Amino acid sequence: MTDNSYLISAATIKEPPTTFFQRLKFLGPGFILSASIVGSGELIATTTLGASAGFTAFWIIIASCLIKVAVQVEFGKHTILTGETAMQALKLLPGTKSGKGKWSVVTILGLMSLKVFQIGGMMGGSALVLSMLFPSVATMIWVIFVALLVASIIFKGYYLPVEKASLVMTVLFTCLTIACLIFLSDTQYSISMADIWSGLQFDLSPALVGVAIGAFGITGVASDEILAYTYWCREKGYAAYTGPRDDSDAWLRRAEGWTKVMYLDATVAMIIYTSVTAAFYLLGAAVLNHSGNVPEGLKMVETIATIYTESLGPGFKTIFLVGAFFVLFSSVFATLAFWTRMYADIFGQLGWIDFFDMAARRKTIAMLAWIFPTAWALAYFFVESPVLMILSGGIVGSVLLLLVAFAAIHFKYKREQPITSGMLYNITLWISIVAIVAVAIYGLIKLL
Protein backbone atom coordinates (compact mmCIF):
# COMPACT_ATOMS: atom_id res chain seq x y z
CA MET A 1 0.00 0.00 0.00
CA THR A 2 1.06 3.61 -0.56
CA ASP A 3 -0.34 6.87 0.75
CA ASN A 4 -3.80 5.79 -0.39
CA SER A 5 -3.93 3.54 2.66
CA TYR A 6 -4.72 6.68 4.66
CA LEU A 7 -7.90 7.14 2.63
CA ILE A 8 -10.73 5.06 4.08
CA SER A 9 -13.84 4.87 1.94
CA ALA A 10 -16.15 2.39 0.23
CA ALA A 11 -13.61 2.19 -2.61
CA THR A 12 -10.89 0.81 -0.31
CA ILE A 13 -12.96 -2.04 1.13
CA LYS A 14 -11.58 -5.55 0.71
CA GLU A 15 -12.94 -8.76 2.15
CA PRO A 16 -10.59 -10.33 4.72
CA PRO A 17 -8.98 -13.75 4.18
CA THR A 18 -10.70 -16.59 5.98
CA THR A 19 -8.01 -19.27 6.24
CA PHE A 20 -4.61 -19.37 7.94
CA PHE A 21 -2.62 -19.61 4.72
CA GLN A 22 -4.61 -16.81 3.09
CA ARG A 23 -3.87 -14.59 6.09
CA LEU A 24 -0.15 -15.23 5.71
CA LYS A 25 -0.23 -13.29 2.42
CA PHE A 26 -1.24 -10.12 4.28
CA LEU A 27 1.45 -10.15 6.94
CA GLY A 28 3.92 -7.28 6.85
CA PRO A 29 3.72 -4.71 9.67
CA GLY A 30 5.29 -7.22 12.05
CA PHE A 31 8.27 -7.67 9.72
CA ILE A 32 9.07 -3.97 9.97
CA LEU A 33 8.61 -4.13 13.73
CA SER A 34 10.95 -7.13 13.92
CA ALA A 35 13.59 -5.28 11.89
CA SER A 36 13.43 -2.47 14.42
CA ILE A 37 13.44 -4.81 17.43
CA VAL A 38 16.06 -7.30 16.19
CA GLY A 39 18.69 -4.61 16.22
CA SER A 40 20.21 -2.39 18.87
CA GLY A 41 18.12 -3.79 21.72
CA GLU A 42 19.11 -7.36 21.01
CA LEU A 43 22.62 -7.00 19.66
CA ILE A 44 23.78 -4.44 22.22
CA ALA A 45 21.44 -4.03 25.20
CA THR A 46 20.58 -7.71 25.56
CA THR A 47 24.12 -9.02 25.19
CA THR A 48 25.36 -6.32 27.59
CA LEU A 49 22.86 -7.44 30.22
CA GLY A 50 23.84 -11.08 29.63
CA ALA A 51 27.51 -10.21 29.93
CA SER A 52 26.89 -8.33 33.19
CA ALA A 53 24.35 -10.60 34.87
CA GLY A 54 25.08 -14.03 33.49
CA PHE A 55 22.00 -16.22 33.25
CA THR A 56 20.22 -14.65 36.26
CA ALA A 57 18.34 -11.98 34.27
CA PHE A 58 17.12 -14.27 31.48
CA TRP A 59 13.57 -14.03 32.85
CA ILE A 60 13.55 -10.26 32.33
CA ILE A 61 14.30 -10.64 28.62
CA ILE A 62 11.60 -13.26 28.11
CA ALA A 63 9.06 -11.23 30.07
CA SER A 64 9.95 -8.08 28.15
CA CYS A 65 9.25 -9.79 24.83
CA LEU A 66 6.03 -11.54 25.83
CA ILE A 67 4.37 -9.05 28.15
CA LYS A 68 4.23 -5.90 26.04
CA VAL A 69 2.76 -7.50 22.90
CA ALA A 70 -0.79 -7.33 24.32
CA VAL A 71 -0.59 -3.53 24.44
CA GLN A 72 0.76 -3.52 20.88
CA VAL A 73 -2.21 -5.59 19.75
CA GLU A 74 -4.64 -3.23 21.51
CA PHE A 75 -3.14 -0.30 19.60
CA GLY A 76 -3.34 -2.23 16.33
CA LYS A 77 -6.96 -3.19 16.94
CA HIS A 78 -7.87 0.40 17.75
CA THR A 79 -6.31 1.54 14.48
CA ILE A 80 -8.34 -0.98 12.46
CA LEU A 81 -11.63 -0.16 14.20
CA THR A 82 -11.30 3.63 14.09
CA GLY A 83 -8.93 4.32 11.22
CA GLU A 84 -7.14 6.84 13.46
CA THR A 85 -3.41 7.44 13.35
CA ALA A 86 -1.45 7.08 16.59
CA MET A 87 -1.42 10.83 17.28
CA GLN A 88 -5.09 11.23 16.37
CA ALA A 89 -5.92 8.57 18.93
CA LEU A 90 -3.63 10.03 21.60
CA LYS A 91 -5.07 13.49 21.04
CA LEU A 92 -8.43 12.12 22.18
CA LEU A 93 -7.09 11.04 25.57
CA PRO A 94 -8.61 12.97 28.50
CA GLY A 95 -6.67 15.92 29.82
CA THR A 96 -5.76 19.49 29.07
CA LYS A 97 -4.27 21.12 26.02
CA SER A 98 -0.73 22.42 25.88
CA GLY A 99 -0.75 25.32 23.45
CA LYS A 100 -2.26 24.08 20.19
CA GLY A 101 -1.64 20.45 21.06
CA LYS A 102 -3.00 17.99 23.58
CA TRP A 103 -0.74 17.17 26.54
CA SER A 104 -0.37 13.59 25.30
CA VAL A 105 0.89 14.59 21.86
CA VAL A 106 3.28 17.19 23.31
CA THR A 107 4.58 14.59 25.80
CA ILE A 108 5.25 12.15 22.98
CA LEU A 109 7.09 14.89 21.10
CA GLY A 110 9.28 15.69 24.12
CA LEU A 111 10.09 12.11 25.13
CA MET A 112 10.75 10.88 21.61
CA SER A 113 13.09 13.80 21.03
CA LEU A 114 15.20 12.56 23.98
CA LYS A 115 15.68 9.28 22.14
CA VAL A 116 17.83 11.00 19.52
CA PHE A 117 20.86 9.77 21.50
CA GLN A 118 19.60 6.18 21.38
CA ILE A 119 19.27 6.23 17.60
CA GLY A 120 22.60 8.03 17.37
CA GLY A 121 24.10 5.10 19.27
CA MET A 122 22.54 2.65 16.82
CA MET A 123 23.91 4.64 13.89
CA GLY A 124 27.32 4.81 15.56
CA GLY A 125 27.23 1.05 16.09
CA SER A 126 26.61 0.54 12.37
CA ALA A 127 29.54 2.81 11.58
CA LEU A 128 31.83 0.96 14.02
CA VAL A 129 31.07 -2.29 12.24
CA LEU A 130 31.93 -0.76 8.87
CA SER A 131 35.16 0.66 10.27
CA MET A 132 36.15 -2.85 11.37
CA LEU A 133 35.39 -4.21 7.93
CA PHE A 134 37.21 -1.33 6.23
CA PRO A 135 39.70 0.02 8.81
CA SER A 136 41.34 2.40 6.36
CA VAL A 137 38.27 4.64 6.52
CA ALA A 138 37.65 6.65 9.71
CA THR A 139 34.59 5.81 11.82
CA MET A 140 33.24 9.36 11.53
CA ILE A 141 33.21 9.01 7.74
CA TRP A 142 31.18 5.82 8.09
CA VAL A 143 28.71 7.61 10.38
CA ILE A 144 28.13 10.18 7.65
CA PHE A 145 27.83 7.38 5.07
CA VAL A 146 25.18 5.54 7.13
CA ALA A 147 23.24 8.78 7.62
CA LEU A 148 23.23 9.51 3.90
CA LEU A 149 22.38 5.91 3.01
CA VAL A 150 19.37 5.59 5.30
CA ALA A 151 18.06 9.04 4.34
CA SER A 152 18.29 8.28 0.62
CA ILE A 153 16.29 5.06 1.07
CA ILE A 154 13.52 6.47 3.26
CA PHE A 155 12.92 9.97 1.93
CA LYS A 156 10.42 8.89 -0.74
CA GLY A 157 8.20 7.48 2.00
CA TYR A 158 6.89 4.32 0.30
CA TYR A 159 5.68 1.44 2.47
CA LEU A 160 6.43 -1.65 0.37
CA PRO A 161 10.23 -1.18 0.10
CA VAL A 162 10.37 -0.71 3.88
CA GLU A 163 8.49 -3.98 4.43
CA LYS A 164 10.56 -6.02 1.97
CA ALA A 165 13.92 -4.68 3.11
CA SER A 166 12.98 -5.24 6.76
CA LEU A 167 12.03 -8.86 6.05
CA VAL A 168 15.31 -9.63 4.28
CA MET A 169 17.53 -8.05 6.95
CA THR A 170 15.64 -9.74 9.79
CA VAL A 171 15.77 -13.22 8.24
CA LEU A 172 19.49 -13.05 7.44
CA PHE A 173 20.66 -12.13 10.92
CA THR A 174 18.09 -14.34 12.66
CA CYS A 175 19.44 -17.41 10.85
CA LEU A 176 23.05 -16.50 11.74
CA THR A 177 22.25 -15.95 15.42
CA ILE A 178 20.26 -19.16 15.86
CA ALA A 179 23.02 -21.12 14.10
CA CYS A 180 25.57 -19.57 16.46
CA LEU A 181 23.58 -20.68 19.50
CA ILE A 182 23.32 -24.21 18.14
CA PHE A 183 27.07 -24.49 17.43
CA LEU A 184 27.85 -23.20 20.92
CA SER A 185 27.01 -26.65 22.28
CA ASP A 186 30.29 -27.98 20.85
CA THR A 187 32.44 -25.45 22.74
CA GLN A 188 33.51 -24.78 26.32
CA TYR A 189 30.64 -22.27 26.51
CA SER A 190 27.87 -24.83 26.00
CA ILE A 191 24.62 -23.99 27.76
CA SER A 192 22.88 -26.54 29.97
CA MET A 193 19.24 -26.72 31.01
CA ALA A 194 20.42 -25.94 34.54
CA ASP A 195 21.84 -22.64 33.27
CA ILE A 196 18.56 -21.75 31.59
CA TRP A 197 16.55 -22.78 34.67
CA SER A 198 18.74 -20.60 36.88
CA GLY A 199 17.82 -17.65 34.67
CA LEU A 200 14.12 -18.17 35.29
CA GLN A 201 14.22 -17.82 39.09
CA PHE A 202 13.11 -14.15 39.28
CA ASP A 203 16.32 -13.19 41.06
CA LEU A 204 18.37 -10.08 40.28
CA SER A 205 21.23 -8.26 41.96
CA PRO A 206 20.41 -4.62 42.96
CA ALA A 207 23.53 -3.52 41.09
CA LEU A 208 21.98 -4.67 37.82
CA VAL A 209 18.60 -2.96 38.20
CA GLY A 210 19.54 0.03 36.01
CA VAL A 211 20.73 -2.16 33.14
CA ALA A 212 17.68 -4.40 33.53
CA ILE A 213 15.27 -1.43 33.39
CA GLY A 214 16.98 -0.18 30.26
CA ALA A 215 16.82 -3.65 28.71
CA PHE A 216 13.11 -3.98 29.56
CA GLY A 217 12.43 -0.64 27.92
CA ILE A 218 14.30 -1.43 24.73
CA THR A 219 13.90 -5.19 24.15
CA GLY A 220 10.77 -6.77 22.79
CA VAL A 221 8.18 -4.25 21.68
CA ALA A 222 9.34 -0.90 23.03
CA SER A 223 7.00 2.05 23.53
CA ASP A 224 7.93 3.72 20.25
CA GLU A 225 7.52 0.44 18.36
CA ILE A 226 3.99 0.06 19.77
CA LEU A 227 3.22 3.49 18.32
CA ALA A 228 4.96 2.59 15.07
CA TYR A 229 2.81 -0.51 14.65
CA THR A 230 -0.28 1.64 14.14
CA TYR A 231 1.29 3.35 11.12
CA TRP A 232 2.37 0.08 9.55
CA CYS A 233 -1.10 -1.43 10.09
CA ARG A 234 -2.59 1.56 8.29
CA GLU A 235 -0.10 1.54 5.45
CA LYS A 236 -0.49 -2.20 4.96
CA GLY A 237 -4.17 -1.43 4.47
CA TYR A 238 -5.92 -3.17 7.37
CA ALA A 239 -7.98 -0.07 8.28
CA ALA A 240 -8.67 0.89 4.65
CA TYR A 241 -9.78 -2.66 3.82
CA THR A 242 -12.17 -2.64 6.78
CA GLY A 243 -13.80 0.52 5.44
CA PRO A 244 -15.61 3.42 7.15
CA ARG A 245 -17.24 2.36 10.38
CA ASP A 246 -21.01 2.04 10.14
CA ASP A 247 -21.51 -0.88 12.58
CA SER A 248 -23.31 -2.88 9.90
CA ASP A 249 -23.02 -6.65 9.85
CA ALA A 250 -20.75 -6.43 6.80
CA TRP A 251 -18.46 -3.90 8.49
CA LEU A 252 -18.28 -5.99 11.68
CA ARG A 253 -17.38 -9.07 9.64
CA ARG A 254 -14.58 -7.19 7.89
CA ALA A 255 -13.36 -5.64 11.13
CA GLU A 256 -13.17 -9.02 12.84
CA GLY A 257 -11.48 -10.56 9.81
CA TRP A 258 -8.75 -7.94 9.44
CA THR A 259 -8.23 -7.88 13.21
CA LYS A 260 -7.51 -11.62 13.06
CA VAL A 261 -4.93 -10.94 10.34
CA MET A 262 -3.34 -8.33 12.60
CA TYR A 263 -3.32 -10.81 15.52
CA LEU A 264 -1.45 -13.33 13.36
CA ASP A 265 0.97 -10.65 12.16
CA ALA A 266 1.75 -9.61 15.75
CA THR A 267 2.12 -13.24 16.87
CA VAL A 268 4.56 -14.13 14.09
CA ALA A 269 6.60 -11.01 14.88
CA MET A 270 6.62 -11.92 18.59
CA ILE A 271 7.92 -15.42 17.83
CA ILE A 272 10.71 -13.97 15.67
CA TYR A 273 11.97 -11.30 18.03
CA THR A 274 11.53 -13.40 21.18
CA SER A 275 13.57 -16.24 19.69
CA VAL A 276 16.36 -13.93 18.56
CA THR A 277 16.37 -11.91 21.78
CA ALA A 278 16.60 -15.05 23.88
CA ALA A 279 19.43 -16.32 21.68
CA PHE A 280 21.35 -13.04 22.01
CA TYR A 281 20.98 -13.05 25.77
CA LEU A 282 22.08 -16.65 26.18
CA LEU A 283 25.09 -16.03 23.95
CA GLY A 284 26.05 -12.98 26.00
CA ALA A 285 25.60 -14.85 29.28
CA ALA A 286 27.48 -17.93 28.13
CA VAL A 287 30.42 -16.36 26.27
CA LEU A 288 30.88 -12.79 27.49
CA ASN A 289 30.00 -13.31 31.15
CA HIS A 290 32.14 -16.44 31.30
CA SER A 291 35.13 -14.59 29.84
CA GLY A 292 34.48 -11.38 31.79
CA ASN A 293 34.02 -9.22 28.69
CA VAL A 294 31.30 -6.57 28.98
CA PRO A 295 30.62 -4.51 25.81
CA GLU A 296 31.70 -0.93 26.48
CA GLY A 297 32.52 2.21 24.50
CA LEU A 298 34.15 1.95 21.11
CA LYS A 299 35.24 -1.66 21.80
CA MET A 300 31.59 -2.74 21.90
CA VAL A 301 31.48 -4.42 18.47
CA GLU A 302 34.84 -6.14 18.97
CA THR A 303 33.64 -7.57 22.28
CA ILE A 304 30.31 -8.78 20.92
CA ALA A 305 32.09 -10.35 17.94
CA THR A 306 33.72 -12.83 20.33
CA ILE A 307 30.32 -14.45 20.76
CA TYR A 308 30.48 -15.62 17.18
CA THR A 309 34.21 -16.28 16.88
CA GLU A 310 34.18 -18.40 20.05
CA SER A 311 31.26 -20.54 18.89
CA LEU A 312 31.73 -20.63 15.11
CA GLY A 313 35.46 -19.98 14.80
CA PRO A 314 37.69 -16.97 13.95
CA GLY A 315 36.83 -17.28 10.27
CA PHE A 316 33.26 -16.21 11.03
CA LYS A 317 34.24 -12.77 12.28
CA THR A 318 33.75 -11.16 8.88
CA ILE A 319 30.40 -12.88 8.48
CA PHE A 320 29.40 -11.59 11.91
CA LEU A 321 30.44 -8.04 11.04
CA VAL A 322 28.39 -8.11 7.84
CA GLY A 323 25.42 -9.46 9.76
CA ALA A 324 25.93 -6.99 12.59
CA PHE A 325 25.87 -4.11 10.13
CA PHE A 326 22.57 -5.26 8.68
CA VAL A 327 20.96 -5.82 12.08
CA LEU A 328 22.03 -2.40 13.39
CA PHE A 329 21.23 -0.70 10.12
CA SER A 330 17.81 -2.38 10.07
CA SER A 331 16.97 -0.68 13.36
CA VAL A 332 18.10 2.72 12.07
CA PHE A 333 16.23 2.07 8.82
CA ALA A 334 12.93 1.05 10.43
CA THR A 335 13.21 3.81 13.06
CA LEU A 336 13.67 6.52 10.44
CA ALA A 337 10.70 5.19 8.47
CA PHE A 338 8.59 5.43 11.64
CA TRP A 339 9.91 8.76 12.93
CA THR A 340 9.22 10.52 9.64
CA ARG A 341 5.60 9.37 9.79
CA MET A 342 5.10 9.99 13.51
CA TYR A 343 6.56 13.49 13.50
CA ALA A 344 4.54 14.37 10.39
CA ASP A 345 1.48 13.14 12.30
CA ILE A 346 2.47 15.23 15.35
CA PHE A 347 2.89 18.29 13.14
CA GLY A 348 -0.58 17.62 11.80
CA GLN A 349 -2.11 17.44 15.28
CA LEU A 350 -0.34 20.69 16.20
CA GLY A 351 -1.83 22.34 13.14
CA TRP A 352 1.48 22.88 11.35
CA ILE A 353 0.60 20.72 8.31
CA ASP A 354 -2.41 18.86 6.92
CA PHE A 355 -1.32 15.28 7.61
CA PHE A 356 -4.00 13.85 5.34
CA ASP A 357 -2.98 15.98 2.39
CA MET A 358 -0.86 13.52 0.43
CA ALA A 359 1.50 16.15 -1.01
CA ALA A 360 2.04 17.90 2.34
CA ARG A 361 2.68 14.63 4.16
CA ARG A 362 5.10 13.35 1.52
CA LYS A 363 6.98 16.66 1.54
CA THR A 364 7.29 16.56 5.35
CA ILE A 365 8.45 12.94 5.34
CA ALA A 366 11.07 13.71 2.69
CA MET A 367 12.38 16.68 4.69
CA LEU A 368 12.51 14.76 7.99
CA ALA A 369 14.25 11.82 6.29
CA TRP A 370 17.32 14.04 5.96
CA ILE A 371 16.99 16.03 9.19
CA PHE A 372 16.81 13.06 11.60
CA PRO A 373 19.92 11.19 10.35
CA THR A 374 21.83 14.45 10.60
CA ALA A 375 20.70 14.89 14.22
CA TRP A 376 21.55 11.26 15.07
CA ALA A 377 25.02 11.59 13.57
CA LEU A 378 25.67 14.77 15.55
CA ALA A 379 24.50 13.03 18.74
CA TYR A 380 27.00 10.24 18.14
CA PHE A 381 29.82 12.69 17.43
CA PHE A 382 29.03 14.35 20.77
CA VAL A 383 28.87 11.22 22.99
CA GLU A 384 30.68 8.41 21.10
CA SER A 385 29.45 5.68 23.47
CA PRO A 386 26.93 3.41 21.70
CA VAL A 387 26.10 1.23 24.72
CA LEU A 388 25.42 4.20 27.02
CA MET A 389 23.41 5.98 24.32
CA ILE A 390 21.26 2.96 23.53
CA LEU A 391 20.55 2.04 27.17
CA SER A 392 19.61 5.66 27.92
CA GLY A 393 16.97 5.38 25.22
CA GLY A 394 15.67 2.27 26.90
CA ILE A 395 15.11 4.14 30.16
CA VAL A 396 13.27 6.93 28.31
CA GLY A 397 11.24 4.22 26.61
CA SER A 398 10.25 2.73 29.96
CA VAL A 399 8.83 6.12 31.00
CA LEU A 400 7.02 6.47 27.68
CA LEU A 401 5.45 3.06 28.30
CA LEU A 402 3.40 4.67 31.11
CA LEU A 403 1.63 6.87 28.56
CA VAL A 404 1.24 3.95 26.18
CA ALA A 405 -0.31 1.81 28.94
CA PHE A 406 -2.72 4.62 29.87
CA ALA A 407 -3.74 4.98 26.23
CA ALA A 408 -4.37 1.23 25.95
CA ILE A 409 -6.73 1.38 28.94
CA HIS A 410 -8.54 4.35 27.40
CA PHE A 411 -8.90 2.60 24.03
CA LYS A 412 -10.20 -0.54 25.72
CA TYR A 413 -12.72 0.92 28.16
CA LYS A 414 -13.51 4.50 27.15
CA ARG A 415 -13.73 4.22 23.37
CA GLU A 416 -16.67 2.13 22.21
CA GLN A 417 -15.42 -1.16 20.75
CA PRO A 418 -17.81 -3.15 18.58
CA ILE A 419 -15.64 -6.28 18.80
CA THR A 420 -15.72 -8.05 22.15
CA SER A 421 -12.57 -9.57 23.63
CA GLY A 422 -12.32 -12.90 25.40
CA MET A 423 -11.34 -13.33 29.03
CA LEU A 424 -7.87 -14.64 28.12
CA TYR A 425 -7.16 -11.52 26.05
CA ASN A 426 -8.37 -9.23 28.84
CA ILE A 427 -6.25 -11.00 31.46
CA THR A 428 -3.18 -10.86 29.21
CA LEU A 429 -3.71 -7.16 28.52
CA TRP A 430 -3.95 -6.32 32.22
CA ILE A 431 -0.86 -8.38 33.06
CA SER A 432 0.93 -6.41 30.36
CA ILE A 433 -0.28 -3.06 31.67
CA VAL A 434 0.49 -3.81 35.32
CA ALA A 435 3.98 -5.09 34.47
CA ILE A 436 4.74 -2.05 32.31
CA VAL A 437 3.59 0.39 34.99
CA ALA A 438 5.42 -1.44 37.78
CA VAL A 439 8.73 -1.53 35.91
CA ALA A 440 8.45 2.10 34.82
CA ILE A 441 7.67 3.35 38.34
CA TYR A 442 10.42 1.18 39.84
CA GLY A 443 12.88 2.57 37.34
CA LEU A 444 11.88 6.16 38.12
CA ILE A 445 12.26 5.58 41.85
CA LYS A 446 15.75 4.17 41.35
CA LEU A 447 16.75 7.11 39.16
CA LEU A 448 15.51 9.79 41.59
Return left, alpha or beta for 387; rule: phi > 0 is left, psi -120 to 50 is alpha, else beta.
Answer: alpha
Domain holding 67, by residue range, is 13-447
Confidence category of residue 159, pLDDT binned at 50, 70, 90: confident
Q: Residue 8 domain-assigned?
A: no
Q: Residue 110 domain-assigned?
A: yes
Confidence category of residue 394, pLDDT binned at 50, 70, 90: low
- Are 277 and 69 spatial neighbours (Cβ–Cβ below 8 Å)? no
Question: Burial code of 58-95, b = ≥16 C-beta within 10 A, e = fewer?
Answer: bbbbbbbbbbbbbbbbbbbbbbbbbbbbbbbbbbbbee
CA distance 49 to 147: 28
For 161-217, what is each residue's pLDDT tens digit? 888 888 887 787 778 778 778 877 777 778 888 888 888 887 767 777 766 666 666
- Are 240 and 81 spatial neighbours (Cβ–Cβ below 8 Å)? no
Q: Residue 443's pLDDT is what?
A: 62
**What CATH number has the domain bearing residue 434?**
1.10.4160.10
Ranking 11-15, 113-117, 166-170, 376-380 by mean pLDDT, the lowest is: 166-170
- Are 29 and 233 spatial neighbours (Cβ–Cβ below 8 Å)? yes
Average pLDDT over residues 407-423: 87
Q: Residue 104's pLDDT is what?
A: 92
- Are 334 and 235 spatial neighbours (Cβ–Cβ below 8 Å)? no
Q: Residue 430's pLDDT is what?
A: 92
- Given a cut of 50, is residue 2 above it in pLDDT? no
For 288-308, what is each residue's pLDDT tens digit? 777 776 666 556 667 777 766
Q: Residue 1 domain-assigned?
A: no
Query: What is the overall mean pLDDT for the chain?
Result: 84
Residues in the chain: 448
Q: Residue 353 domain-assigned?
A: yes
Q: Residue 396 domain-assigned?
A: yes
How many domains does the chain divide into?
1
CA distance 66 to 82: 26
For 307-349, what is each residue's pLDDT tens digit? 667 666 777 778 778 877 887 888 898 899 999 999 999 999 9
Alpha-carbon separation of residue 192 from 78, 176, 189, 234 (angstroms): 43, 21, 10, 44
CA distance 89 to 407: 8
- Given a cut of 90, is residue 228 above it in pLDDT? yes
Q: Residue 4 domain-assigned?
A: no
Residue 99: burial class (beta carbons within 10 Å; 0-12, 13-18, 19+): exposed
CA distance 12 to 5: 8
Q: Residue 13's pLDDT is what?
A: 93
Confidence category of residue 4, pLDDT binned at 50, 70, 90: low
- Given a cut of 90, is residue 68 above it in pLDDT? no
Of 442, 435, 445, residue with least CA distance to 65: 435
Confidence category of residue 218, pLDDT binned at 50, 70, 90: low
Ranking 1-15, 103-117, 225-239, 419-433 by mean pLDDT, the lowest is: 1-15
Largest CA distance in the chain: 65
- Work out the number of other CB atoms within 10 angstroms of the CB of residue 243: 21
- In percent, how much of the chain has pLDDT > 70? 88
| Amino acid (1-letter code) at residue 160 | L
- Are 110 and 90 spatial neighbours (Cβ–Cβ below 8 Å)? no
- Given a cut of 90, is residue 406 above it in pLDDT? yes
For 277-286, what is each residue's pLDDT tens digit? 888 888 888 8
The model's pTM is: 0.88
Q: Residue 138 domain-assigned?
A: yes
Provide the pairing of β-strand 101-102 with 97-98. Answer: antiparallel
Average pLDDT over residues 44-64: 80
Ranking 2-11, 32-41, 259-268, 356-365 by mean pLDDT, the lowest is: 2-11
Q: Residue 2 domain-assigned?
A: no
Residue 320: burial class (beta carbons within 10 Å; 0-12, 13-18, 19+): buried
